[in-house]
Chains A and B, each alone.
Chain A
Amino acid sequence: MIIYELAVKGRINKAQNISTTDTLNDIPQKLRRKKRAYLPEVSELQAVRHYTQLSQKNFSIDTHFYPLGSCTMKYNPRACNSLAMLPGFLARHPQSDDSLGQGFLACMHELQDMLKEVTGMQAVSLAPMAGAQGEFAGIAMIRAYHDARNDTARNEILIPDAAHGTNPATAVMCGYRVKEIATDKNGDVDFDALKAAVGPQTAGLMLTNPSTLGVFERRIKEIAALVHAAGGLLYYDGANLNAILGKVRPGDMGFDVIHMNLHKTFSTPHGGGGPGSGPVGVNERLLPYLPIPVVGKKGDTYRIFDEHDIPQTMGRLSAFAGNAGILLRAYIYARMLGKEGMVRIAEYSTLNANYLMKMLEQAGFELAFSNRRATHEFIVTLKKQAKELNVTTLDFAKRLLDLGYHAPTTYFPLLVPECLLIEPTETETKDVLDAFVAAMTTIKKEAEQNPDKVTQAPETMPVRRLDEVRAAKQLDLRWPAKENNA
C-alpha cells in the first residue's frame, strides 16, 4: 500500500491544522498556486501506522546482524540520539549570535580537538556533510595548495584500483585527471606501478589504509616518501579508520589531508542512507585552506571562524555548518568511549574480523588474501561456487537475508571476483559470529545439494528478487495518480 492509496479527499488532520484568518490578498494572483499540491490526505493514525509498518520491512542494526563491509554497521547508542535532541540543541538557529550557542560550540571545539588527536593532524574542520564531501574538500585543498605556489602543471590524481568510486568521481569534480594504480597479489599497492606513475604531473595520491581489501598497506612510509619527493600530496580516505583507532594515525603515516566518516567510526546513524558526516583534518601545509566554518576559542569564549579568519579557505560546503546534529552525536559517542574506549574499538573490531575470517576459512570458504591478517574486515571470494555450481555471490547474499542476516558488501572491491566484503564490527558477540558462520555453511551446502534454494532466494522477504531492468527501462519514480480518492 502506498500512502496515497490510503488517502481520501477532504480528510483533514485537525490536530496539526492551524486556524488562521490571514489572507493572501497582497500576493498577486499570477504568483499564487492555482491547484492544491497533490499530497496524501490521511489521519495522523493512518500515517503513523503506515510508516511504522514500513519500518518493519527494513533490516537494520537494531534488528539484524549487518556485516556490510566498509560501512562499519556497529551499534548506534541510543543516548547519542536522545541527548543530541535536547530542546536547547534543536532550537538553535544556525545564524544566531555565538553568545546563544556556547554550549553547542564547546562540544564542537572539543570534538575538533579529539579528532585531531586520533588522526595525528594539525587542525580539523567539521564542515563536510558526508565522506564524499570530505574527499572533495581534501582534493580542493590540495589544488589550492598547488595553485598558491603557481605549481599549476600538476593535473593528475593517482588512485589505487581498489578505491571507493567516490575517489575518482571526486578528483574529476576538482578538475583532475585520474590515473589508476594496480594492486599486487598480496593486496598492497603495486609499488613499481606507483613508481612508474608518479611524476611532475602528480598533484596527489588518494589512499585508503587499511585498504578496501581488508589489509593494512605495509609500505605506506615508502609510498608517502615517493609521492612527496615528486611534489605531490597524500590524501587519506578515512573509510576504514575504525580498524586502527588509537593504534596508528594517518598523520604519522605521512598523510597531508584526511577525511573521517563519523557515521562509521563514530557510530552516528546511517539513517537508511544518511546523513553522513565527513570532517577533514590537515597538516601544517594545508592549514590555510581549511573549509569554513571552523570553531575557534578565545579565552573562555567560543566563536565561529569564517573567511575573515581563514582568508585562503577552499570555501564553504554547506549553507551553515555541516551536519551539526550528527556532529553532536559523534561528540557524545567519543566522550563515552574516552581514550580507553577508542583503542578498544580497533582491537575488538580486528579481533572479531580475524575470528570470523578464520572460522569461515575452516568452514571451507576461500579467502581473497589468506596469507594476510584481516583488519576490521576481510574478503571471501565465491568464484569456485560461481564457476562450478553456478551459484553466485548475489545468490549467497539473497539467501543470507532469508536466514536473518543482512548481506555483506557484494562485488566490491571490483578487482576480486565474486567477493563478499565482511565487516562484523566490535559490538557483536562471539555467538552472533558463530551463528553467521553456521548460516554461511548452510548456504554452502544448499549450493551444492539444492542450488535452487539459493538461486531463488529470498523467499521470506516482503518481496522476491526485483526486476531491475524493468525498473530502469520502464521508469516509475513517483505515484502516477493526480488526486486523492473521492
Chain B
Amino acid sequence: MPFIPHTDYEVKEMLNAIGADNIEELFDEIPAELKISELKNIPSQLTEMEISRLMHERANQDNTPICFAGGGAYDHHIPAAVWEIATRGEFYSAYTPYQAEASQGSLQVIYEYQSMIANLTSLDASNASLYDGASALAEATLMAVRANRKSKSKRILVPRTVNPVYRKVTHTLVKNQGIKLEELNFDLQQGLIDMASLPAEPGDITAVVIPLPNYFGVLENVDELTDWAHKHGALVIAVVNPISLSILTPPGEWGEKGADIACGEGQPLGIPMSSGGPYFGFLTCKQALVRQMPGRIVGRTLDLDGKPGFTLTLQAREQHIRRSKATSNICTNQGLMVTAATIYMAIMGPDGLEKTAIASHGNNKKMLEKLTSKKSITRTFNQSFFHESVINIAADNASVLKKLAANNIVGGINLKSDYPELGDAILVCATEKRTVKEIDFFTEQLATAIAS
C-alpha cells in the first residue's frame, strides 16, 4: 500500500482499542445510500519505477525547445543551489508558520525576501507573496480602492500596454465589487501609453496602473505618468519586472513622489517556466499603506528573553481572523517559490542581477538587429525596450509559429487576438541564456518559415 505503514497486526490492535470490528465500521455515520463501492474510472496503482518510466517518456516527448517567448514567463539561468536548498524537506514539507518558534527558518526567509523585494522596488514594505503576477495586480487594485479614501469612484485606469492576461484576471477577480477598470490606449508607432489621450479633466480616479517595461517590452514615461496620476488624486500601481529593476528606475523613485504600490511576477527570480506555474506574485507599498496589504506579512520582534525572532504579524487584516471583513480571501500563498527567489537573489547579488539584466537587454538588441536584417521582418515600435520586443512579419503569424514549433523553437507570442490592430505581430524575447548561434538559427528559421 503506497505510503501507508500499517501492518495487519497493528490494524487489529487499533481496531480493538477503538472497539470496532473492521475499518468500514468507522464510516457508519455516512448514509449507506451515498457510499460507493469502487472508483471505476481510475487506473490501477503504479510503482515508483513504473511512474518514473511514464514521466520520463512524457518529459522527453515535450523536449527542451529553444525559447524566444516571454510575455510574463522568462527563460533565465537558475543557479543549481537554488532548488537544491529550496526542496530540502525542512522547507518543502513545512506549512504556514503558525507556530512561530518551530518555524523560524521559513519566517526569516520571508523577512529577508520582504527586505530584498522592498529594496528592489525602492518601496517601504512587502507582503510574503501572492499567487502570481496577474492576481497580484488584482489584489493591488483592491488595495488601492481601500487605501485611497478620498476617491469614491472606484475607477482604475489600466493601459492596454499592461499584459492582456493580467487585465483579464483583474477583471475576473474585482468585477463583483463595483470596481470599474477603464482602458487607456497606446500610440501605434511608439508602443507607449498615448500621453495625448490622457484627459485634462479626468474626474475622480482611484488609481492608475503603470507598467515598466510594458507588455511590448517598451519603457513607458513613468515619471510623467506618475505625476499626472498624483496630480489628479489617484494612487499609482506599478507593474514591474524584478530583473529589470536592477537597471531601470524603481517604482519608489518614479516622478515627484514615487509609485504607491508595486506588483509583478516573481518568476524571473529563479523560478523555472514549468508550463506557467507555480510562480509567485510580489506586492510592495509605501509605509502608509501597509495595513491595507493583502496576505501574510512577517515581522521581526523580540522573545521573552529579548532575543530577536520572527512571527506572522498584522493578522487582524486576514481571513482567519476577520472572516467576511478581511482584506482578501487569500490564505495559502506561494511560500516555496519565495524561498527559491530569496536564495536566488542572495546568490546572484546586486552585481549578478544587474549583469543578467544587461545581458538580456543586449541579447534582445542583437536579436532585433539580426531579425530586421531580413526584409520580411520589421520592428513594430520605435522606442527603448528592455529584453523583449514586438516584430511584424510578412506572413500569417499563427502558421509561422506552428512551423517554428515543428523545428523545436518557441518563436514568441502571437498578439493577434489581443491586439488585432498590430496585424501579424509577434512578441519576442531573448534572455541572457540565448547564444549568438541560437539567435542566428532563429533568424534563419523565422525567415524561412515566413517565405514558405
Interface 1/0 per residue, B275-319 and A, CB below 8 Å:
111111000000000100000111111111101111101101011
Q: Count A interface residues, CB 8 Å.
A: 202
In the complex, whether A284 has a CB less than 8 A from a CB of chain B is no
Within 8 A of A (CB), among B343-358: 343, 345-356, 358
Point out the residues of chain B lying under 8 angstroms from A351, CB to CB: 6, 11, 14-15, 18, 23, 26
CB nearest to B67 among chain A residues = A93
Question: At the interface with chain A, which of B118-126, B183-191, B195-203, B373-381?
Answer: B118-126
Known contacts A13-B348, A103-B57, A173-B329, A272 near B17 by CB under 8 Å: no
Point out the residues of chain A lying under 8 angstroms from B330, CB to CB: 130, 132
**In the bound complex, do residue A132 and residue B95 qualify as a contact, i.e. CB atoms below 8 Å apart?**
no
Point out the residues of chain B lying under 8 angstroms from A365, CB to CB: none
**In the bound complex, do residue B410 and residue A93 qualify as a contact, i.e. CB atoms below 8 Å apart?**
yes
A59 to B168, CA, bound (A): 39
CB nearest to B318 among chain A residues = A165
Within 8 A of B (CB), among A455-486: 456, 458, 461-468, 470-472, 474-479
Point out the residues of chain B lying under 8 angstroms from A26, CB to CB: 365, 384
- B43, B94, B302: which contacts A60 (Cβ < 8 A)? B94
Known contacts A37-B250, A321-B277, A341 near B326 by CB under 8 Å: no
Point out the residues of chain A lying under 8 angstroms from B64, CB to CB: 87-88, 91
**In the bound complex, do residue B326 and residue A91 qualify as a contact, i.e. CB atoms below 8 Å apart?**
no
In the complex, whether A28 has a CB less than 8 A from a CB of chain B is yes
In the complex, whether A316 has a CB less than 8 A from a CB of chain B is yes
Question: At the interface with chain B, which of A43-51, A189-197, A227-235?
Answer: A43-51
- B56, B90, B102, B352: which contacts A401 (Cβ < 8 A)? B102
Point out the residues of chain A lying under 8 angstroms from B303, CB to CB: 463-467
Shortest C-beta distance, B212 to chain A (Å), equals 8
In the complex, whether A148 has a CB less than 8 A from a CB of chain B is no
Point out the residues of chain B lying under 8 angstroms from A352, CB to CB: 14
Within 8 A of B (CB), among A294-349: 314-326, 332, 334-348
**In the bound complex, do residue A22 and residue B169 qualify as a contact, i.e. CB atoms below 8 Å apart?**
no
**In the bound complex, do residue A30 and residue B18 qualify as a contact, i.e. CB atoms below 8 Å apart?**
no
CB nearest to A88 among chain B residues = B59
Within 8 A of B (CB), among A116-152: 116-118, 120, 129-133, 135-136, 140, 143
Known contacts A91-B67, A325-B278, A59 near B103 by CB under 8 Å: yes
Shortest C-beta distance, B140 to chain A (Å), equals 14
Known contacts A4-B115, A94-B276, A317 near B173 by CB under 8 Å: yes
In the complex, whether A426 has a CB less than 8 A from a CB of chain B is yes
A55 to B61, CA, bound (A): 35
Q: Count B interface residues, CB 8 Å.
A: 204
**In the bound complex, do residue B39 and residue A343 qualify as a contact, i.e. CB atoms below 8 Å apart?**
yes
Within 8 A of B (CB), among A23-50: 23-24, 26-28, 30-34, 36-42, 44, 47-48, 50
In the complex, whether A200 has a CB less than 8 A from a CB of chain B is no
**In the bound complex, do residue A100 and residue B63 qualify as a contact, i.e. CB atoms below 8 Å apart?**
yes
**In the bound complex, do residue B55 and residue A86 qualify as a contact, i.e. CB atoms below 8 Å apart?**
yes
Within 8 A of A (CB), among B1-57: 1-6, 10-11, 13-15, 17-20, 23, 26-31, 34-36, 38-48, 51-52, 54-57
**In the bound complex, do residue A95 and residue B69 qualify as a contact, i.e. CB atoms below 8 Å apart?**
yes
- B65, B223, B335: which contacts A271 (Cβ < 8 A)? B335
Known contacts A31-B219, A465-B101, A465-B304, A93 near B172 by CB under 8 Å: no
In the complex, whether A74 has a CB less than 8 A from a CB of chain B is yes
Shortest C-beta distance, A314 to chain B (Å), equals 7
Within 8 A of B (CB), among A259-317: 263, 267, 269-276, 291, 314-317
Point out the residues of chain B lying under 8 angstroms from A315, CB to CB: 168-169, 171-172
**In the bound complex, do residue A401 and residue B101 qualify as a contact, i.e. CB atoms below 8 Å apart?**
yes
**In the bound complex, do residue B118 and residue A478 qualify as a contact, i.e. CB atoms below 8 Å apart?**
yes
A458 to B71, CA, bound (A): 48
**In the bound complex, do residue B2 and residue A168 qualify as a contact, i.e. CB atoms below 8 Å apart?**
no
A456 to B304, CA, bound (A): 9
**In the bound complex, do residue B299 and residue A476 qualify as a contact, i.e. CB atoms below 8 Å apart?**
yes
**In the bound complex, do residue A95 and residue B413 qualify as a contact, i.e. CB atoms below 8 Å apart?**
yes
A464 to B308, CA, bound (A): 10
Residue from B84, B177, B336 whose CB has the most chain A CB atoms within 10 Å: B336
Give 17 A-B contacts (CB < 8 Å), ordered by A residue: A20-B358, A20-B432, A39-B345, A60-B90, A61-B94, A62-B92, A81-B87, A97-B405, A104-B58, A246-B36, A316-B172, A332-B55, A340-B1, A427-B3, A430-B10, A458-B102, A477-B299
- 5 new A-B contacts at CB < 8 Å, known A33-B249, A272-B103, A319-B133: A28-B384, A71-B95, A132-B319, A171-B324, A429-B10
Query: Nearest 10 A-B pairs (CB), nearest first?
Result: A22-B362, A320-B276, A338-B45, A62-B89, A271-B336, A88-B59, A315-B172, A94-B276, A103-B58, A273-B335
